[in-house]
Amino acid sequence: MLKNLSGLSLMILAITLPVAVCPAQEQPLAEPEQTPASVAIADLTIPELLMLADQYRSAKRFTDALNLVRLIVHKDENNIDALRLLGDIAWDMQNAEQAQKNWTLVRRIQPNDFGANWGLGRLNLRSGQYRNAMYYIEVAESVMPADPPEIVPQVLIALAQSYRGSGLRSQAVETIQKALTIDPRNFDAWYVLAALRTEMARSQEDFDQALGDADMLIEIADNQLKTNGTTLAGIQMLQTACRIKLGVLNACGPILFERNPDGSLSDRLLPGMEKLAANIFDKIVDVMMQQADLERTLVHFRIIAMAEKTVEVDGATNPSTLMKLGSLQVATGKLLEATETFQRVLALDPMNKSAQRQLDALQMQQPEPTIVPMP
């Protein structure tokens, strides 16, 4: 197999770690509070209209939000809050051109406005205009509010990304470490730090440090799965952490292999590197095996909807389709649902040994009830 890959050095494939941070898990939508029927929209003050429009935006009722903000702009065409909110809504609606237009209008009125600079910084960061992003995010960082508390690490992470994309890696590391001082278990921050340290690594000590960052990513993702159970978002987060760790391991080639006269890596290990190489290869195998397990779980998530539809269509009267659904529910962490499914199987087929074994195993996984002593 190695021969087909043109030498052992191809085991250490270079991997480019993306600048973009993995998107955070989307929060459930909050419906806006209803305006009393007795209160007409026209009777609301501008602050009340802004508050209601922002609630509509949070609930992704963008048309309602836009109508309210346009009403405000009609009353006061230079209202900074309204113009900023128009930019925010356009950003949410993936309309970068309109977002840029409105945020730029805000900056013309108030150059150091946090929201406008933060918006333009994210917009330029997403489009790969790192120097422009750096300019706007530095302004945003200088005036950023303390509330909500999560905004500070978000701004610092984005600023570190803009530094990284601009080739200012030392500044990027310093900035991301500031974010981790505020939020020590921020997954996105560790993601960027691991990527940065991998790019900057030149020695075994450097790679060990980058591996420590990648292991922290895996620990954070593992803890989320333990806390929240097996969820699609949790599996994807762990998959991302594994990909970063594999990237660090794959980047170790320069410290393991001799170079050819043209500067490329050969398939000849440097003298004395056999033990280290074996250790790195073993870690690569471990991570790839973990990735394979995660991919199987993701496949289960993709097909469980069809299994649920099958059971629904046949009226939940077929032990065979119920068994398949129950197995998928176990694989995706839906243990209570799986217990009910296997109980259905036994109600239809009391002698089904597979269902009974599955049910026994599930009951062993359930926590013991806590007994509170009587006073």
Flag whether 285 is in a domain: yes
Flag whether 235 is in a domain: yes
pLDDT averaged over every residue in the chain: 87
pLDDT beyond 90 at 12: no
Inter-residue contact 359 to 346 (CB < 8 Å): yes
Question: Could you give the CA distance from residue 250 to residue 256 in angstroms, rounded to a whole number?
Answer: 11
Among the listed ranges 170-174, 327-331, 335-339, 367-371, which one has the minimum average pLDDT value? 367-371
Any idea how long the chain is?
375
In total, how many domains does the chain have? Answer: 3
Flag whether 247 is in a domain: yes
This prediction has a pTM of 0.78
List strand residue ranges (DSSP E) for 237-372, in order.
Answer: 257-259, 265-269
Domain of 97 in residue numbering reads as 39-110
Tell me how far CA of residue 139 lies from CA of 108, 112, 167, in angstroms. Answer: 14, 6, 19
From 110, 133, 158, give the residue that closes a domain. 110
- Same-domain status, 282 and 237: yes
- Same-domain status, 72 and 102: yes
Q: What is the CATH number of the domain that holds 99?
A: 1.25.40.10
Share of the chain above pLDDT 90, in %: 76
- Same-domain status, 207 and 247: yes
Flag whether 210 is in a domain: yes
From 110, 126, 145, give the residue that closes a domain. 110
Identify which of 17, 21, 4 has the alpha carbon closest to the alpha carbon of residue 249.
17
- Same-domain status, 249 and 333: no
| Per-residue DSSP letter, 93 | T
- Same-domain status, 292 and 348: no
Among the listed ranges 3-7, 191-195, 274-278, 314-318, which one has the minimum average pLDDT value? 3-7
- Same-domain status, 206 and 298: yes
Identify which of 262, 359, 344 has the alpha carbon closest to the alpha carbon of residue 311.
344
* pLDDT single digits (tens) 237-280: 999 999 999 999 999 999 999 999 999 999 999 999 999 999 99
Flag whether 191 is in a domain: no
Flag whether 189 is in a domain: no
What confidence score (pLDDT) does residue 270 get? 94
pLDDT beyond 70 at 60: yes
* pLDDT single digits (tens) 163-218: 999 999 999 999 999 999 999 999 999 999 999 999 999 999 999 999 999 999 99
Question: Could you give the CA distance from residue 198 to residue 250 in angstroms, rounded to a whole number?
Answer: 10
What confidence score (pLDDT) does residue 62 get? 94
pLDDT beyond 60 at 16: no
- Same-domain status, 226 and 287: yes
* pLDDT single digits (tens) 106-150: 999 999 999 999 999 999 999 999 999 999 999 999 999 988 889
Inter-residue contact 213 to 17 (CB < 8 Å): no
**Residue 296's pLDDT band (boundaries 50, 70, 90)?**
very high
Q: Where are the alpha helices (DSSP H) in 229-273?
A: 232-250, 253-256
- Same-domain status, 101 and 55: yes
Inter-residue contact 221 to 52 (CB < 8 Å): no
Question: Could you give the CA distance from residue 37 to residue 287 in angstroms, rounded to a whole number?
Answer: 58
From 61, 79, 110, give the residue that closes a domain. 110
What confidence score (pLDDT) does residue 367 get? 54
Flag whether 239 is in a domain: yes
What confidence score (pLDDT) does residue 49 get? 92
Flag whether 348 is in a domain: yes
What confidence score (pLDDT) does residue 2 get? 30
- Same-domain status, 325 and 237: no
Question: Could you give the CA distance from residue 283 to residue 263 in angstroms, rounded to a whole number?
Answer: 27
Inter-residue contact 156 to 178 (CB < 8 Å): yes
- Same-domain status, 355 and 324: yes
